[in-house]
Amino acid sequence: MEQSKMTQVFGVSPDELKESILTDVRAEIKSLALNFQPITPTEYLTRQEVSEILKVSLVTLSDWNKKKILHPYRLGNLIRYKRAEIELALISINPKKA
């Protein structure tokens, strides 16, 4: 036997019920909108862009790749770096000021 749930509302007009539901839904949507953090797509940088950001030569970048300081991504002949990983690779010398 299948059970169904039924809710009965007494003393409330259909318009009052509708308005009450709309008010609660609007409040919930507003709280979700305030806490919404859009997902930003991963930004990939070329070797030239990374060398300009870090102010080092392409030879130094290749050396850091071999030493596993940086983590390049390869697609065919293209080499790319994730911007977030480049920023994480920077080590703070004086952590008290960071």
Alpha helices by DSSP H, 42-96: 47-54, 58-66, 83-89
34, pLDDT greater than 60: yes
Is 59 contained in some domain? yes
Is 68 contained in some domain? yes
pLDDT, mean of residues 60-68: 94
Q: What is the pLDDT of residue 92?
A: 62
Domain count, the chain: 1
Q: Is 82 helix (H, G, I), strand (E, B) or coil?
A: strand
47, pLDDT greater than 80: yes
Measured in whole angstroms, the distance separating CA 66 from the mean position of its chain's CA atoms is 29
Is 17 contained in some domain? no
Token couple for 23: 């008010």
pLDDT, mean of residues 23-32: 92
Per-residue model confidence as pLDDT tens digits over 78-97: 999 999 999 888 876 666 65
pLDDT interval class at 37 (50, 70, 90): confident
Average pLDDT, the chain: 87
CA distance 50 to 95: 24
Is 75 contained in some domain? yes
Is 85 contained in some domain? yes
Task: Give the 3-state secondary structure percentages of the chain, helix then strand then coil, rounded to 5.
Answer: 45, 10, 45
Q: What is the pLDDT of residue 12?
A: 84
Is 74 contained in some domain? yes
Is 5 contained in some domain? no
Containing domain of residue 65, as a range? 44-89
Is 10 contained in some domain? no
Q: Is 22 left (phi over 0), alpha (psi -120 to 50) or beta?
A: alpha
